Structure 1
Amino acid sequence: MIYVDVKGNLGNQLFIYSFARSLQKQTGQKICLNTTYLSKYYPEYKYSLDDYILNPNVYVEKKKKLPFFMNIYSLPSKAILRLLAKSPKIDNRISILAFNFFSKYGFFIWLKETYINIKIRPHKNYYVTGFWQSPKYFDQIKKNLENELKPKHNLLKHNKELFDIICQKETICVTIRRGDYVSNSKIKDSYYLCGPEYFLEGVNEIRKKYSEAVVVCFSDDIEWVKNNIDFKCETYYESGTDPVWEKLRLMSACKHFVISNSSFSWWAEYLSTRNGCVIAPSKWYVDERPVDIYREGWKYIKV
């Protein structure tokens, strides 16, 4: 069995599932998605993978006790991580050494944004905790993911007209993340990079090549977008009230993308099969920490 610690909102959960799915493909083991820590430490987050088809050999466990050192939310773990963060070079060396040691026994613990090479050894059980935000972990099963990461639910009736427009036109999906990126000062200091100028420049860049392209906006604050950003072209707006599985369905049906530094935004582009242009911010975090989330062929705008 592959026991997986589920974290974050849908975007993070999709990365975690995809990593586990790739591990499953290599080992033949069943997957147990463990939501114990999600509900205990972050009750505001919802387990969202239930809305997707997924592989039939996937189970959900709400109260599975994992080995104590897998709980990154415990006070001892937080203290160690805080101490190591003061010296990034030492932190990185220790993280790699710890990963290599634990992985020998089937424990995959990696909290970095960078990719780490995985060596698979046969074990009865595997335990996984991390965010796994790199396509390098699961690009080899992309077709499987495209088939499995589809909503169980039908398209909502009020979105039929918008969905038809998205599928029939040269649509540019613009995802504008606000929410805690602007309202929470701590999060803003780490994540807020993409202001109105970024999205305007991204749309203009795509429309230089595709002059007939239209914009479809998605945001957690759609009224703010309507009142503050004028793309000066035909523009449509998702209601802002749809469930996340519906938003992602609409987003991934678009052809071109101006993404923000958000895992949810990233997955909309990854699950699209229309091979359009992708514009991304030149860095993913304010502090410019190294990441492996970028994909080949993207174009970047300096932020």
Structure 2
Amino acid sequence: MIIVKLVGGLGNQMFQYALGRKLALEKQEELRFDFRFLERSQITSTPRALELNIFPAVGPHMVAASSPQLRQCDQYLESSLYKAYNRGRKLLGMVPAFSLTTDYYSLAYKPEFLQTQGHLVYIDGLWQSEKWFDEIGQSIRNDFVFPAFVSATAQEIALQLRATDSVSLHIRRGDYLTEAEAAKYASVCSLEYYERAVNEVVAKVGKGITLYVFSDDIAWAEQHLKVPYPCVFVKNAPQQPSHEDMHLMSLCQHHIIANSTYSWWGAWLGRNPEKVVVAPHMWFPKINVTSEMIVPTSWVKL
């Protein structure tokens, strides 16, 4: 059995789910999820709820690990007696009773992690690269089909995106500035990056673009983002579901993303086969994480 620990917001949960699905299909094992840590996220102090259930196709796979299963995981992680028993199995050449695969801040793709063996395998990490699941990429796209828009605002913008040479532009601020834990590793992308990214898109697709700006601080974006092309600053309507911005991003023809899993998925799920995607070269400069670890090779890194 494979148990995946879920932490963080929607983008992180999508990566964790994708790796779990890949391992479960490859190893033909049951897949279960540990939801206990969403309300006490290790990534920021911001409480996070389960958001994966917004995808209708994901629901059948979102099976919670049972209390006995989670208790057994905790025992192998915390009890010296259980740890000694597991070491003994390994020394005797037996399949481990329990294996832990964990990685948070290196974010590097390590294919050896996919070879983890154990009657019970616990997956604990971020897994922010398509390399973890590229062999089942189409299955993941099929799983991550959004529901119909709820808000009239989003419905109207969706029509505009299809009628223009639309470019999503995501400015992530929020907890990168306000949360002490997030600030240890994350930095906000500079205005210079966005200006260079817009020029890169124009050089590749022409000047007839319309930028659709998404942000968790849209007022700041309106005040500070100055580019010589039409801009639509997407403002969320009251009670608009949090995933609808990602859905709208995915409908754009091209993408300028932040160092954020939210806009990463918005761009990755975009269906334009000729899409241009620009990403920041330094993903998390404070901990020396570059985009090569996270961003697909076909995307432009600035």
Into which bin does the TM-score normalised by the smaller protein fall?
0.7 to 0.9
SS in structure 1 of the partner of residue 62 of structure 2: strand
SS in structure 2 of the partner of residue 287 of structure 1: helix
- Structure-1-length-normalised TM-score: 0.80
Distance in 2 between residues matched to 1:62 and 1:243, nearest whole Å: 27
Deviation at 1:125, TM superposition (A): 3.4
Equivalent residue number for residue 180 of structure 1: 175
Equivalence map 1:12-27=2 (5 Å): 12-27=12-27
Residue 109 (str. 1) matches residue 107 (str. 2)? no
Q: 1:52 aligns with which of 43, 50, 55?
A: 55
Distance in 1 between residues matched to 2:96 and 2:192, nearest whole Å: 44
Q: Which consecutive residues of structure 1, in runs of 5 or more, have no partner in the other structure?
A: 75-101
C-alpha change, 1:128 and 1:186, in structure 2 (3 Å) is closer
Q: Which moved more, 1:45-54 or 1:62-71?
A: 62-71
Contact map agreement 2:40 2:48 (CA 8 A) in 1: no
Deviation at 1:186, TM superposition (A): 5.6
Deviation at 1:121, TM superposition (A): 6.3
Contact map agreement 1:5 1:35 (CA 8 A) in 2: yes
Which digits, 9 at most, give the CA deviation of each residue in 1:218-274, with x for residues without a partner? 000111111221222111122135322211110111111111111111111111111
Equivalent residue number for residue 226 of structure 2: 230
Distance in 2 between residues matched to 1:278 and 1:147, nearest whole Å: 21
Contact map agreement 2:9 2:49 (CA 8 A) in 1: yes
Q: 2:208 aligns with which of 204, 207, 212?
A: 212
Contact map agreement 1:70 1:129 (CA 8 A) in 2: no
Distance in 1 between residues matched to 2:135 and 2:226, nearest whole Å: 39
Distance in 2 between residues matched to 1:273 and 1:103, nearest whole Å: 42
Q: 2:259 aligns with which of 251, 261, 264?
A: 261
Distance in 2 between residues matched to 1:234 and 1:127, nearest whole Å: 48
Distance in 2 between residues matched to 1:11 and 1:69, nearest whole Å: 30
User: What root-mean-square deviation, in Å, do the aligned CA atoms of Structure 1 and Structure 2 show?
Assistant: 2.7
Equivalent residue number for residue 64 of structure 2: 61
C-alpha change, 1:32 and 1:152, in structure 2 (3 Å) is farther
Equivalence map 1:27-176=2 (5 Å): 27-40=27-40, 44-55=47-58, 57-61=60-64, 64=67, 65-66=70-71, 67-68=73-74, 105-111=98-104, 112-117=106-111, 118-120=113-115, 123-176=118-171
Distance in 2 between residues matched to 1:163 and 1:174, nearest whole Å: 15
Distance in 2 between residues matched to 1:69 and 1:37, nearest whole Å: 17
SS in structure 2 of the partner of residue 36 of structure 1: coil
SS in structure 2 of the partner of residue 232 of structure 1: coil
Q: Which moved more, 1:119-128 or 1:153-162?
A: 119-128
Deviation at 1:5, TM superposition (A): 0.6
Equivalent residue number for residue 4 of structure 2: 4
Contact map agreement 1:196 1:229 (CA 8 A) in 2: yes
Distance in 1 between residues matched to 2:187 and 2:133, nearest whole Å: 28
AA partner of residue 266 (structure 1): W
Equivalent residue number for residue 250 of structure 2: 252
Contact map agreement 2:97 2:118 (CA 8 A) in 1: no
Contact map agreement 1:19 1:138 (CA 8 A) in 2: yes
Deviation at 1:189, TM superposition (A): 5.3
Distance in 2 between residues matched to 1:26 and 1:158, nearest whole Å: 41
Distance in 1 between residues matched to 2:160 and 2:184, nearest whole Å: 37
Distance in 2 between residues matched to 1:63 and 1:43, nearest whole Å: 26
C-alpha change, 1:179 and 1:124, in structure 2 (3 Å) is same
C-alpha change, 1:260 and 1:104, in structure 2 (3 Å) is farther
- Structure-2-length-normalised TM-score: 0.80
